[in-house]
A and B are shown apart, each in its own frame.
Chain A
Amino acid sequence: MKISRRNFIKASGVAAAGLGLSQLGFDLSPIESYAAGLKIKGAKEITHICCYCSVSCGQIAHVSKGKLINFEGDPDHPISEGALCAKGAAAYQIHDNPNRLKKVRYRAPYGTSWKEVSWEWALEKIARNIKKSRDSSFVEKNDKGQVVNRTNGIASVGSAALDNEECFLYQTFLRGLGLVWIEHQARI
């Protein structure tokens, strides 16, 4: 049974009488597929602040059985009042994403591929590297004989993506190692 567009426009009420009644058993009941219920009902709500620009819109994560099921704006937030732009609205995919790094990866000198390694192995090896670089580049006094106590051979960039507490910890860690080459996004 076909009604072409052209025929349709030409059609009159009489023309439609050709339709078989069996084909017109209209489903007028509520739509079961959509009325099945709200998926976030009963989910745990955790308030958040967006990770992108500096407006800091409020967000709500809906978590059910330890799994993130939805991520949307926080209507109580006085700045954003529930709103999110395209980036904020897509934050769900930061977590639910098959491409997230899930293991520590290591690339050996002159290596042509990544290798997955354990945290323990990596931390031990990085610590060794730090000590080697620091010990070989540490300057207690500069050319003028002034005390400077700094590590010249290691630099760091990062990060405005860290929380404040991590930033403080990070600067403590780096300056504890004697680094002065410390920079991040605020400079670019």
Chain B
Amino acid sequence: MTNHYIDFRNADVILNMGSNVCENHPVSYKWIKAAQDRGAVFIHVDPRFTRTSAKADHYVPLRSGTDIAFLGGMIKYILDNDLIQREYVVNYTNASFIVGSKYDFMDGLFSGYDPVKRKYDKSNWAFETDENGVIKKDPTLQDPRCVYQLLKKHYARYDRDVVSQITGTPKEDLLKVYQIYGSTGRPDRVGTELYAMGWTQHTVGTQNIRAMAMLQLLLGNVGMAGGGINALRGESNVQGSTDMCLLFHIIPAYNPTPRAKHKDLATYNETTTPKTKEPMSANWWQNRPKYMVSYLKSMYGKAGTKENDFGYDWHPKLDDDQNCSWLMLFDAMHRGEFTGFFAWGMNPACSGANANKVRQGLASLDWMVNVNLFDNETGSFWHGPGMNPKKIKTEVFQLPCASFMEKEGSLANSGRWVQWRYKAVDPPGEAKPDGDIMLELHESVRKLYAKEGGKFPEPILNLKMDYATNGKFDAHKVAKEVNGYDLTTGKLVANFTKLKDDGTTSCGSWIYSGSYNEDGNMMARRDRSDPTGIGLYSKWAWCWPVNRRIIYNRASVDLNGNPWDPKRAVIRWDPAAGDGKGGWIGDVPDGGWPPMVDKEKTKLPFIMKPHGVASIFGPGLNEGPFPEHYEPLECPVNRNLLSSQRINPAAKVFAGTMDQYLTCDPRYPFVCTTYRVTEHWQTGVLTRWLPWLLETQPQLFVEMSKELGELKGIKNGDVVEVESARGKVKAVAIVTARLRPFNIAGQTVHQIGIPWHFGWRWPEDKKFSRGGDSANLLTPNIGDANTMIPESKAFMANVRKIKSKS
């Protein structure tokens, strides 16, 4: 999130599209409701009418997988009616940048496409520069090659007729949303957007979000209180686990994982550190070498020296074009490429798209370590449906771990608040905190290598793992290492501005630097004061980076440093502050430089972007610099109404025997989407085991419209089978007026929906009066072209009755 949960209350318009906020982030409704009490308008755009829709001022339906068409239509509406916040757009975005002559767009494809590799040559999308390498600009936004004009041209095709035909959203509903949201282009009106997996789980997931980010920039809503673009993340610490980079492509914090071509630290730093010729750009990532070296010092401690590149060679490296993301991982597993596997606090047998492929993959392993609170479909896969234990070699270790209340540590919410929690009770039986399991496991491995040697033992023997106190994992010790030390004094660094690239500082994750310094554990703070009055609560816990509660906040002020809207100022420049030198009042600003009018000393507000401004034109993405509507891989229409490119041209399509996809196939005529309900969490790996929750949502269901129920002879409460090209599950039908068929270019298209909280292991019920299996047995293993997040939100399926109501 750019902003944070309490900040919803500051918005004038809340657009919830790509998530189901009241059901999946229920307590945050408190702050939406607080905004509604102030007169804010709450809009829910979703394929289903949900509990969120019931509380929204406007519910607007849309077919799964057509968000870019919807948003593209909004971009067109805002440009056609000149609703943009011009001063913001001209100064804080790249709208004025001149795009090079190689850029083009024709019939769904941008220039530079290689259809064989399904890849673009992005150099075609570069900006035009002058003789000094500075990007050419036209602040009048009139140049036909400037981003603003190209944007206008790109979305000219997205008129409401075609958008309505694609999305199935009635034209009057489109206009209503466009008008309401478009009203936030005024400096004194702010809109916010709340999204989640409803946007990420598509082959065009990244571009869904980018389309909205572009709208927020055009309307001047980023950096503002009550604005921003806000990912409602799905797990309590998925923000923190991402910050700690439990992902193949990044290492703490958000530095790229070293690749083979980065042969030494100098090459890594040289190649990966962004550069800019823009005179007013802070280009904060120029500090990358400081963060990288400090990270290596946290990894290898004293063993990492200047002479050995601080242990850079000990760190594993990817091949230059290697992709180890989730779908690739399970594809490799299915091909038998791994002998060992950890499923630590995860249940991929239910959470992985095309779960049958995952489950089969698990059988190819020699061994698996499964750490969890309860038994689950992953650890127990070998006796699951269709498995013959006598033929499965995989050795499985199931390790019982402590729950959150049985250990101590911190977690980061979507608003980047990092909060400390304390141990309340001992874990049951022999269950242990995960930290202890990790330390003990490392120690067991280390001993083996110390004693017997083995392949390249240095990284194991030199790893800094001194995080125990009296033989037990000590979260404080790790938290301090994550914050970082000045190794010359042994003191904790104040924050990341103190980090160095010469090996005299350590820091596990630079964005957390400042969370646990010599002033104490900032994450444990419980001061409820709120001097800004806009709900920042700056002394409650701690927030990355450097306790900045709203990021990009220097875009919330005009060129003189005065808030666009003084009623909800995030920061403002006070010329009298700092003994007359001037200073910022309010939230921690994105850098302390003076306002834009001071051209000598100022810096542009988007400090993490190399050019200092936000990207309306985004030349870094794999499928193009502007979001373009493509149909989901499996879709109900045989052509894209906007171009000849039916699906995302840059999305990777797997082609193994388990990778089945069928589109416009009469056997699978209905659009299907997966989702969550309030009462369960993810695969249900915890919640299915809690009787109070299982009572409220006991069983896998599939929601469908009354029209579809009629068509298929299915009544509410009937047992049905839902099937896709990849698998099938039994479910109970909920036949409801909350789902409606869509009119897609004159055709009736039905959509069904199914939650993914269930699994065969629990509750145990052979008669199917409770429980059920995973909806991911149906979902396709195709991913977003940038992130490879699976397209679980839009695919094709069939539903049929298998048992009548008794």
Chain A residues proximal to chain B, CB less than 8 Å:
46-57, 61, 63, 66-68, 71, 76, 78-81, 83-91, 93-95, 97, 99-112, 114, 119, 122-138, 140, 142, 144, 146-188
Contacts and interface: CB of A to CB of B under 8 A. Distances in A.
A157 B248 contact: no
Interface string B421-439: 1111110111111110011
B395 A108 contact: yes
A25 to B, nearest CB: 39
A51 to B, nearest CB: 4
B246 A173 contact: no
Nearest to B440: A123
A164 B235 contact: no
A102 B372 CA distance: 10
Contacts, number: 484
Nearest to A132: B339
Given A56-B419, A181-B248, A159 B316 contact: no
Interface string B154-185: 00000000000000000000000000000000
A161 B465 contact: no
B400 A54 contact: no
B434 A166 contact: yes
B343 interface: yes
Contacts of A136: 339
30 contacts: A47-B422, A48-B405, A48-B422, A49-B419, A53-B24, A55-B5, A61-B425, A79-B6, A80-B27, A101-B372, A111-B389, A122-B397, A124-B444, A133-B340, A133-B366, A150-B318, A154-B340, A157-B326, A160-B242, A164-B244, A164-B411, A169-B473, A171-B245, A173-B438, A176-B463, A178-B459, A180-B317, A183-B248, A186-B246, A188-B789
**What secondary structure prevails in chain A residues at the interface with B?**
mixed
Range of interface residues on B (Cβ < 8 Å): 35 or more
Given A78-B537, A106-B397, 20 more contacts: A47-B422, A50-B236, A51-B236, A51-B686, A53-B26, A54-B232, A56-B419, A89-B692, A102-B431, A109-B392, A112-B390, A127-B444, A144-B260, A149-B456, A153-B338, A164-B243, A175-B459, A178-B459, A184-B346, A185-B346
Contacts of A89: 692
Contact of B246 (A111, A138, A153, A184): A184
Contacts of A172: 298-299, 463-465, 508
B398 interface: yes
A181 B535 CA distance: 40
Contacts of A122: 397, 399
A89 to B, nearest CB: 8
B326 A188 contact: yes
A167 B692 contact: no
B802 interface: no
A170 B344 contact: yes
Contact of B400 (A66, A103, A182): A103
A100 to B, nearest CB: 5
A143 B27 CA distance: 53
Contacts of A171: 244-246, 251-252
Contact of A91 (B318, B405, B442, B456): B405
A76 B525 CA distance: 12
Nearest to A53: B25
Nearest to B233: A54
B562 interface: no
A2 to B, nearest CB: 35
Contacts of A94: 373, 403-405, 686, 690
Q: Which 9 A-B pairs have the closest CB atoms?
A: A102-B429, A163-B409, A159-B345, A158-B344, A127-B444, A101-B400, A85-B26, A56-B413, A61-B424
A157 B27 CA distance: 29
B345 A161 contact: yes
A66 B427 CA distance: 11
A124 B435 CA distance: 17
B342 A175 contact: no
Given A86-B696, A95-B405, A133-B366, A162 B434 contact: yes
Nearest to A93: B690
Contacts of A51: 236, 403-405, 686
B257 interface: yes
A140 B457 CA distance: 12
B447 to A, nearest CB: 8
Given A76-B528, A154-B339, A167 B459 contact: no
